[in-house]
Amino acid sequence: MERKKTIGRRKIPLVRIEKNANRYSTFSKRRSDLYKKASKLVRENDVDLGIFLSSPADKVYAFVHPTQNAIIDRFMNLKTDLGEQIVAENSQSESINDRLNELDEREEVAKEKFLFLSQRNKTRDKGRWESIDHLNADDVMKFQAWLDSGEILLKDQLAEASSSS
Protein backbone atom coordinates (compact mmCIF):
# COMPACT_ATOMS: atom_id res chain seq x y z
CA MET A 1 0.00 0.00 0.00
CA GLU A 2 1.53 3.27 -1.10
CA ARG A 3 1.15 6.41 0.90
CA LYS A 4 -0.20 9.50 -0.69
CA LYS A 5 2.56 12.03 -1.37
CA THR A 6 1.35 15.46 -0.24
CA ILE A 7 3.01 18.76 0.42
CA GLY A 8 1.49 19.01 3.90
CA ARG A 9 1.93 22.10 6.01
CA ARG A 10 4.33 24.56 4.54
CA LYS A 11 5.00 28.24 4.81
CA ILE A 12 2.97 30.25 2.35
CA PRO A 13 4.66 33.44 1.18
CA LEU A 14 2.70 36.65 1.78
CA VAL A 15 1.96 38.03 -1.67
CA ARG A 16 -1.04 39.83 -3.05
CA ILE A 17 -3.74 37.46 -4.34
CA GLU A 18 -4.34 38.59 -7.89
CA LYS A 19 -7.76 37.08 -8.62
CA ASN A 20 -10.57 39.13 -7.10
CA ALA A 21 -12.79 36.11 -6.39
CA ASN A 22 -9.98 34.32 -4.57
CA ARG A 23 -9.10 37.48 -2.64
CA TYR A 24 -12.74 37.94 -1.47
CA SER A 25 -13.01 34.30 -0.50
CA THR A 26 -9.74 34.39 1.51
CA PHE A 27 -10.79 37.62 3.22
CA SER A 28 -14.12 36.09 4.29
CA LYS A 29 -12.44 32.97 5.69
CA ARG A 30 -9.83 34.97 7.59
CA ARG A 31 -12.46 37.41 8.88
CA SER A 32 -14.54 34.58 10.33
CA ASP A 33 -11.45 33.02 11.94
CA LEU A 34 -10.52 36.41 13.40
CA TYR A 35 -14.04 36.82 14.80
CA LYS A 36 -13.87 33.35 16.39
CA LYS A 37 -10.55 34.18 18.06
CA ALA A 38 -11.89 37.54 19.24
CA SER A 39 -14.98 35.85 20.71
CA LYS A 40 -12.78 33.37 22.56
CA LEU A 41 -10.58 36.18 23.87
CA VAL A 42 -13.58 38.13 25.14
CA ARG A 43 -15.18 35.05 26.69
CA GLU A 44 -12.05 33.77 28.46
CA ASN A 45 -10.52 37.07 29.58
CA ASP A 46 -13.55 39.35 29.95
CA VAL A 47 -12.00 42.22 27.97
CA ASP A 48 -13.41 45.05 25.89
CA LEU A 49 -12.51 44.47 22.26
CA GLY A 50 -13.15 46.16 18.96
CA ILE A 51 -12.08 45.00 15.47
CA PHE A 52 -12.85 47.07 12.40
CA LEU A 53 -12.05 45.65 8.95
CA SER A 54 -12.34 46.94 5.45
CA SER A 55 -12.84 44.35 2.69
CA PRO A 56 -11.27 44.47 -0.77
CA ALA A 57 -14.68 45.68 -2.01
CA ASP A 58 -14.51 48.58 0.52
CA LYS A 59 -17.21 47.15 2.76
CA VAL A 60 -16.70 47.76 6.48
CA TYR A 61 -17.02 44.94 9.01
CA ALA A 62 -16.84 45.27 12.78
CA PHE A 63 -16.65 43.05 15.83
CA VAL A 64 -17.17 44.88 19.13
CA HIS A 65 -17.71 43.87 22.73
CA PRO A 66 -19.65 45.17 24.70
CA THR A 67 -20.77 48.07 22.42
CA GLN A 68 -19.26 50.33 19.80
CA ASN A 69 -19.71 53.39 22.01
CA ALA A 70 -17.93 51.74 24.93
CA ILE A 71 -14.98 50.78 22.72
CA ILE A 72 -14.77 54.23 21.14
CA ASP A 73 -14.96 55.97 24.53
CA ARG A 74 -12.26 53.68 25.88
CA PHE A 75 -10.05 54.43 22.87
CA MET A 76 -10.62 58.18 23.12
CA ASN A 77 -9.86 58.22 26.87
CA LEU A 78 -6.77 56.05 26.50
CA LYS A 79 -4.39 58.98 27.03
CA THR A 80 -6.21 59.97 30.22
CA ASP A 81 -6.08 56.43 31.62
CA LEU A 82 -2.38 56.16 30.82
CA GLY A 83 -1.74 59.56 32.39
CA GLU A 84 -3.43 58.53 35.62
CA GLN A 85 -1.45 55.29 35.61
CA ILE A 86 1.82 57.18 35.09
CA VAL A 87 0.97 59.61 37.90
CA ALA A 88 0.20 56.69 40.22
CA GLU A 89 3.49 54.97 39.33
CA ASN A 90 5.42 58.22 39.84
CA SER A 91 3.89 58.78 43.26
CA GLN A 92 4.78 55.20 44.17
CA SER A 93 8.37 55.67 43.01
CA GLU A 94 8.59 58.99 44.89
CA SER A 95 7.51 57.27 48.11
CA ILE A 96 10.09 54.55 47.48
CA ASN A 97 12.76 57.21 46.89
CA ASP A 98 11.75 58.98 50.12
CA ARG A 99 12.04 55.69 52.00
CA LEU A 100 15.48 55.02 50.49
CA ASN A 101 16.66 58.51 51.49
CA GLU A 102 15.39 57.95 55.02
CA LEU A 103 17.24 54.62 55.22
CA ASP A 104 20.43 56.27 53.91
CA GLU A 105 20.17 58.91 56.65
CA ARG A 106 19.65 56.20 59.28
CA GLU A 107 22.70 54.36 57.97
CA GLU A 108 24.81 57.53 58.30
CA VAL A 109 23.59 58.07 61.88
CA ALA A 110 24.35 54.44 62.74
CA LYS A 111 27.87 54.75 61.29
CA GLU A 112 28.48 57.92 63.31
CA LYS A 113 27.25 56.20 66.50
CA PHE A 114 29.47 53.20 65.81
CA LEU A 115 32.53 55.41 65.30
CA PHE A 116 31.72 57.37 68.45
CA LEU A 117 31.33 54.20 70.53
CA SER A 118 34.50 52.63 69.18
CA GLN A 119 36.46 55.82 69.99
CA ARG A 120 34.85 55.97 73.42
CA ASN A 121 35.84 52.38 74.12
CA LYS A 122 39.45 53.18 73.21
CA THR A 123 39.68 56.26 75.40
CA ARG A 124 37.59 55.30 78.47
CA ASP A 125 39.12 54.54 81.83
CA LYS A 126 39.67 50.90 82.42
CA GLY A 127 37.70 49.36 85.24
CA ARG A 128 39.18 47.34 88.09
CA TRP A 129 38.80 44.03 86.36
CA GLU A 130 40.35 45.21 83.11
CA SER A 131 43.39 46.69 84.81
CA ILE A 132 44.02 43.95 87.37
CA ASP A 133 46.98 42.66 85.38
CA HIS A 134 48.79 45.95 85.88
CA LEU A 135 48.64 45.98 89.69
CA ASN A 136 51.83 45.89 91.73
CA ALA A 137 52.21 43.89 94.95
CA ASP A 138 50.99 46.74 97.17
CA ASP A 139 47.85 47.23 95.08
CA VAL A 140 47.16 43.49 95.11
CA MET A 141 47.32 43.46 98.92
CA LYS A 142 44.91 46.42 99.13
CA PHE A 143 42.54 44.74 96.69
CA GLN A 144 42.68 41.47 98.69
CA ALA A 145 41.84 43.37 101.88
CA TRP A 146 38.94 45.10 100.19
CA LEU A 147 37.53 41.76 98.98
CA ASP A 148 37.94 40.20 102.45
CA SER A 149 36.11 43.07 104.13
CA GLY A 150 33.32 42.81 101.56
CA GLU A 151 33.05 39.08 102.26
CA ILE A 152 32.78 39.68 106.01
CA LEU A 153 30.08 42.34 105.54
CA LEU A 154 28.07 40.03 103.32
CA LYS A 155 28.27 37.17 105.84
CA ASP A 156 27.10 39.48 108.64
CA GLN A 157 24.14 40.72 106.58
CA LEU A 158 23.25 37.15 105.64
CA ALA A 159 23.30 36.07 109.29
CA GLU A 160 21.08 39.02 110.26
CA ALA A 161 18.61 38.26 107.46
CA SER A 162 18.34 34.57 108.37
CA SER A 163 17.90 35.28 112.12
CA SER A 164 15.17 37.91 111.56
CA SER A 165 13.13 35.64 109.32
Task: State the CATH number of the domain containing residue 42.
Answer: 3.40.1810.10
What backbone phi and psi angles, to 5 degrees, belong to 124?
Answer: -70, 160
Are 69 and 27 contained in the same domain?
yes
What pLDDT is recorded for position 49? 87
Whole-number Å distance between alpha carbons of 148 and 85: 79
Are 69 and 90 contained in the same domain?
no
What pLDDT is recorded for position 94? 74
Are 83 and 56 contained in the same domain?
no
Amino acid at the residue 62: A
The answer to whether the beta carbons of residues 31 and 62 sit under 8 Å apart is no
Section 10-23 average pLDDT: 88
Whole-number Å distance between alpha carbons of 101 and 7: 66
Q: Which residues contact 64 (CB under 8 A, 6 or more apart)?
A: 49, 50, 51, 70, 71
Query: Is 142 a member of any domain?
Result: no
Q: Closest Cα partner for 63 from 28, 39, 29?
A: 39
What pLDDT is recorded for position 3? 66
pLDDT at 90 over 80: no
Query: Is 90 a member of any domain?
Result: yes
What pLDDT is recorded for position 37? 94
Are 84 and 71 contained in the same domain?
no
Domain membership of residue 100 as a residue range: 78-125
pTM (predicted TM-score): 0.40
Total domains, the chain: 2
Are 63 and 83 contained in the same domain?
no
What pLDDT is recorded for position 47? 84
Residue 150 vs residue 78, higher pLDDT: 150
Residue 130's H or E segment, with its range, is none
Residue 165 vs residue 37, higher pLDDT: 37
